[in-house]
């Protein structure tokens, strides 16, 4: 068997997609090991999920640093020490400094709730509904220095239903994401 992929997960919030990655590892659908879960938000529920799965956690709280650069320096230091195969952004709501991206070329992945290059940034489901889109979905991509702009690795689509709301789209897109992210990671593991 090939060596498990060594991952570091960065998150800021609920962590439901991260938990789907953990479940895939536990169910041996994904040959990977999570070295550390890092959050910029000390009260992110994703940290609780990590602890329940006995994973190591680290909080690098942006608010404790006098400026954004010091936060990014601390994050980079932690990532360099861990030296994972991949840094997996899973609901991490900050833009990484170019310096971090250059330190890990093609080793930082993100999942974004739209069919990029459409709808980078926030509030994707609202914007999809307002534009009357018929198709929506999610994208896994390499992270570059732009906003949700790196090369696309995989996408998964759904059909927007007439009765869809922001909440229903968020829920349905997250279901796609929970399947897609572990599958993409497993492709790298192979
Ligand atoms: C996911 O929908 C992910 O695509 C999105 O945050 C959510 C995290 O959900 N990421 C972004 O918007 C990044 N631009 P979770 O906290 O329940 O895992």
pLDDT tens readout for residues 41-55:
999 999 999 999 999
Residue 80 lies in a domain: yes
Q: Which domain holds residue 40?
A: 5-112+140-156+178-189
DSSP calls for 12-57: SS--HHHHHHHHHHHTTSS-EEEEEEEESSTT-HHHHHHHHTT--E
User: Looking at ligand 1, which atom is closest to the CA of residue 122?
Assistant: 12
Q: Calculate how far, in angstroms, residue 167's C-alpha sits from the geometric centre of ligand 1.
A: 13
Ligand 1 centroid, distance to 107 Cα (angstroms): 19
CATH of the domain at 58: 3.40.50.170
**108-153: pLDDT as tens digits:** 999 999 999 999 999 999 999 999 999 999 999 999 988 888 999 9
- Kindly report whether the global pTM for this prediction surpasses the value 0.85: yes
79 beta partners? none
In angstroms, the Cα distances linking 158 to 138, 163, 168 are: 9, 14, 12
Burial-class residue 105 by CB neighbours within 10 Å (0-12, 13-18, 19+).
exposed
In a domain, 166, yes or no: no
Q: Which residue has the tokens 């329940």?
A: 52
Q: For residue 101, is it within any domain? A: yes
**Does residue 123 form part of some domain?**
no
Residue 189 has pLDDT above 90, yes or no: yes
- Residues above pLDDT 70, as percent of the chain: 99
- Taking every pair of Cα atoms in the chain, the longest distance, rounded to a whole number of angstroms, is 49
Task: Report the nearest-CA residue for atom 5 of ligand 1.
Answer: 91
Domain tally, the chain: 1
Q: CA torsion sign, 156 to 140 to 35 to 11?
A: negative
Does the pLDDT value for residue 1 go beyond 80? no
Atom of ligand 1 nearest to the CA of 19: 18
The ligand 1 site (C-beta within 6 Å) comprises 13-18, 90-91, 111-113, 138, 148, 174, 177
């Amino acid at each position: 068997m090939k060596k498990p992929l060594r991952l570091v997960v960065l998150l800021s919030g609920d962590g439901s997609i991260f938990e789907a990655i953990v479940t895939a590892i536990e169910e041996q659908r994904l040959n990977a090991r999570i070295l550390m879960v890092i959050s910029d938000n000390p009260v992110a529920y994703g940290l609780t999920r990590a602890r329940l799965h006995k994973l190591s956690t680290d909080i690098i709280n942006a608010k404790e640093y006098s400026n954004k650069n010091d936060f990014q320096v601390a994050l980079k230091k932690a990532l360099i020490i861990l030296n994972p195969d991949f840094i997996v952004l899973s609901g991490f709501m900050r833009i990484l400094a170019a310096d971090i991206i250059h330190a890990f070329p093609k080793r930082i992945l993100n999942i974004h709730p739209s069919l990029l290059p459409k709808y980078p940034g926030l509030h994707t489901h609202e914007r999809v509904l307002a534009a009357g889109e018929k198709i929506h979905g999610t994208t896994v991509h390499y992270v570059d220095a732009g906003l949700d702009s790196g090369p696309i690795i995989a996408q998964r689509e759904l059909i927007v239903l007439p009765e869809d709301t922001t909440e229903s789209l968020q829920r349905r897109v997250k279901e796609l994401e929970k399947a897609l992210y572990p599958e993409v990671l497993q492709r790298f593991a192979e």
